[in-house]
Amino acid sequence: MTAAAAAVPNGRRSAGRPPAEARLRGISTPSPNSPPADPPAARAAVWSDRLAEEVQARIAQGPADRQIVCASGISPSGPIHMGNLREVFTTHLVAEALRARGHDVVHLHSWDDFDRLRKVPAGVDASFERHIGSPLASIPDPWGAAGSYAEHWIGEFTDALAELGIAMREVRQSERYPAGAYNAEIRRAMDLREAIFDTLAAQQTSGRHDKPLEQRRREYFPYKRYCSDCGRDETQVTAYDGESVSYRCRCGHEGSESLADGRPIRGKLVWKVDWPMRWAHEGVCFEPAGEDHHAPTGSFTVGRTLVRDVFGGQAPSSAVYSFVTLAGAGGKLSGSTGSAAVPSAALRVLEPAIVRWLYIRRLPSQSFQIDLSARGVQKLYDEWDRFVAAAQAPGADATDAAMYHLAVRSSSGAVASSARRVPFRLLSSAADLTQGSRAQIGRIVAQHLDDDAPAVDELLEQLEPRLRCAIAYVELLPDDARTTLRERFDAPTWEGLDDATRGGVATLARELSQAWSLDGLTTLVYAIPKLMLGLPRDAPPSPELKIAQRAFFKALYELMAASDTGPRLPTLMLSIGPERTRELLGGDAA
Ligand SMILES: [Zn+2]
């Protein structure tokens, strides 16, 4: 399970756990957005299927028709980012693999919103310090819109899950605990508190303690009561008689409550006891955990003992997952994606199927970075397009085919991915040059597709969701990365060019009409610098030629866009048409 919040991108819960340092298609022929039939033999190659095999082996002794519970959990203590998504995704994919094997599976997701607020994350008003120690579900939303602090982060995250094809049965611990759902288990833990103390003590590194072991054992209670007066958990249990518990708070308040069956309560088991209690209570068969929980003194290791000795259950099969981080702060798309790498920010610019693929293609134990910089997003689309082409090719690698299937479809249905994978570079350039005009983007893309293009309306439909991602991407680009075309021919720029370059530009202006296609214009703009060097049009590349080509392209950008870079030149020319291109290149002047 994993803790949200700035503090813990990767470990499951923050409360009660060590605050681990921040742990978190080229133009293709149109292909229908329906995934290929699932090749069962291929599935075994994906990591989630191996984990499903472990779960199957584990349940082999039990009743055949039992529903398999695969669990995940997040403490909604701050932005729930791409690292937390790995907790949910690992469980989701194992559940999917078990469903593919014919099992009845539920993905049970715990919102640990009855956890205490441990620290105020970046971006939240510092005055929220006063809520430290209170349950996340009892703190107001810092922005006043959602029902509570916890609700704010949960809402942002779960909106993204629907797009990603992840369906879960969600449980709020802020409802379960207070409703008395776990009272019998809490009493059991209280009765066996000395054994629990010994288990925890044995697995802890011997630190310095003010009090002797015997006294600490006597005073140990695995239950934390939230104070009825100040609302915080700075309380100590002072007495327990097998049913009623008395406590004293740091604020001076003293109180008591009954833990009898069905009685509402206002406290919870400490994390290391809470987790194994719920494995037993919910019959969890699979649950992943971040690296720190699987350490020798981690909560999973301790939980394995406690679930057996205290609650008469068995620890679930598990998988250790590693960090997911956002690549370097530099080169980020501007402001509105924010600094928190939450799934909804990634989904603004990435097709949902691509986000799924990021998690599918790597073993949970491999850490990875998501690069949402302008260049990083382009690169990711190029990688995905190459992957899909390979996965859909006849005789494709079985693992690729299986991973593709998992990316574009879940048991909830199809996951959005573009039926026509036009290069993201082209779509974003067209969005940039046309200020996001869909009709004009459609026209530019159609020109790139030549005879292959359907009617514009149909084309626009086939381009979604990539089209809206490209438009959002351009809106997020910093101003200096956007392209502004010149209104008219710029004489001073023309006069600043040397004779050879002017000659080259004139050749281009003269020949572009005959070359008016993506391929034709590409060949032409690369050939002209060869002519300028006295080489034949089919001369092979050389370092000298590369320098000349770069200088020539720079001159063309300056003439057309008052910049020394921009979208690919053929795209730029196709987007504005031959007449305007000729005019900006000097027309008659040249
Ligand atoms: Zn108090």
Same domain, 476 and 515: no
Q: Confirm whether 542 is domain-assigned.
A: yes
> How far apart are alpha carbons 97 and 585 in whole angstroms?
58
CA dist 64 and 60 (Å) reads 8
pLDDT at 118: 95
pLDDT at residue 155, rounded to an integer: 93
Task: Average the pLDDT over each of 286-290, 449-453, 552-556 and give the range with the smallest value.
Answer: 449-453
Which of 393, 414, 435 delimits the end of a domain?
414
Report the separation in Å between the CA atom of 434 and the middle of ligand 1, taken as the mean of its atom positions.
Answer: 60
Ligand 1 centre to CA of 236 (Å) is 10
Calculate how far, in angstroms, residue 241's C-alpha sits from the geometric centre of ligand 1.
Answer: 22
Least confident piece of the model among 33-37, 47-51, 147-151, 499-503: 33-37
DSSP letter at 519 equals: H
Query: Which pTM does this prediction carry?
Result: 0.85
Whole-number Å distance, alpha carbon 130 to ligand 1 midpoint, is 12
What does pLDDT average to over the chain? 88
Cβ neighbourhood burial of 425 (10 Å; 0-12, 13-18, 19+): middle
What is the whole-number distance in angstroms between the Cα of residue 254 and the centre of ligand 1?
8
Quote the pLDDT of residue 453: 80
Is residue 86 a contact partner of residue 2, using CB atoms and an 8 Å limit?
yes
pLDDT tens per residue, range 406-427: 999 999 999 999 989 999 999 9
Strand ranges (E), 317-405: 320-321, 324-326, 368-370
Indicate the pLDDT class of residue 160, thresholds 50, 70 and 90.
Answer: very high
Q: How far is the CA of 225 from the centre of ligand 1 (A)?
A: 10
DSSP states of 483-509: ----SS--HHHHHTS-HHHHHHHHHHH
Whole-number pLDDT of residue 330: 46
495 and 578 within one domain: yes
User: Which percentage of the chain shows pLDDT scores above 70?
Assistant: 89
pLDDT mean over 154-172: 95
Tens digit of pLDDT for each residue in 191-208? 999 999 999 998 876 667
Q: Could you tell me if 380 and 354 are in contact, meaning their C-beta atoms sit under 8 angstroms apart?
A: yes
- In this predicted structure, what is the pLDDT of residue 2? 52
**Confidence band for 481, pLDDT divided at 50, 70 and 90:** confident
The pair of structure tokens assigned to 275 is 């987790």
Q: Left if phi > 0, otherwise alpha if psi is -120 to 50, otherwise beta: which for 242?
A: left
**Do 439 and 405 sit in the same domain of this protein?**
no
On whether the CB atoms of residues 79 and 4 are closer than 8 A, the answer is yes
CATH number at residue 535: 1.10.10
Instruction: Kindly indicate the confidence band of residue 503, based on its pLDDT and cuts at 50, 70 and 90.
Output: very high
Q: How far is the CA of 227 from the centre of ligand 1 (A)?
A: 4
Q: What is the DSSP string of 449-489?
A: HGGG---HHHHHHHHTTHHHHHHHHHHHS-GGGS----SS-
> 221 and 244: one domain?
yes
Between 566 and 560, the more confident residue is: 560
Among 452, 481, 510, identify where a domain stops: 481
Instruction: Give the chain's length.
Output: 590
Distance in Å, CA 77 to ligand 1 centroid = 21
Q: For residue 255, tell me if it sits in a domain.
A: yes
Q: Is the pLDDT score of 3 beyond 80?
A: no
Question: What confidence tier does 457 reach under pLDDT thresholds 50, 70, 90?
Answer: very high
Task: Give yes or no for residue 6 having a pLDDT over 60.
Answer: no
How many domains, the chain?
4
**Number of separate helices (H) and strands (E) present in the chain:** 23, 16
pLDDT given for residue 209 in this prediction:
78
Q: How far apart are CA 7 and CA 14, in angstroms?
A: 8
How far apart are alpha carbons 203 and 221 in whole angstroms?
17
Over residues 70-80, the pLDDT tens digits come to: 999 999 999 99
Specify whether 433 is located in the same domain as 463: yes
Q: Does the pLDDT value for residue 491 go beyond 70?
A: yes
Q: How far is the CA of 501 from the centre of ligand 1 (A)?
A: 79
122 Cα: distance to centroid of ligand 1 (angstroms): 26
579 plus 509 within the same structural domain? yes
Q: Which of 21-25, 89-93, 250-254 has the lowest mean pLDDT?
A: 21-25
Interval between CA 150 and ligand 1 midpoint (Å): 21
232 C-alpha to ligand 1 centroid (Å): 6
Centre of ligand 1 to C-alpha 231, Å, is 6
- Judge whether 16 lies within some domain: no
Q: Residue 471 is encoded by which pair of tokens? A: 């438009």
List the CATH number of the domain containing 217. 2.30.30.300
Burial category of 106 from C-beta neighbours within 10 Å (exposed 0-12, middle 13-18, buried 19 and up) = middle
Q: Helix 499-511 vs helix 518-532: angle between axes, to the nearest 10 degrees?
A: 150
Q: Which domain holds residue 217?
A: 206-265
Instruction: Answer with the one of 265, 282, 300 that is the final residue of a domain.
Output: 265
Residue 361: which of 406, 415, 408 has the closest Cα?
406
| 378, containing H or E segment | helix 374-392
Question: What is the rounded CA–CA span in Å between residue 33 and residue 45?
Answer: 23
Residue 33, Cβ density class (10 Å: 0-12 exposed, 13-18 middle, ≥19 buried): middle
Res 547 pLDDT > 70 = yes
- On whether residue 470 sits in a domain, the answer given is yes
Does 29 score more than 60 pLDDT? no
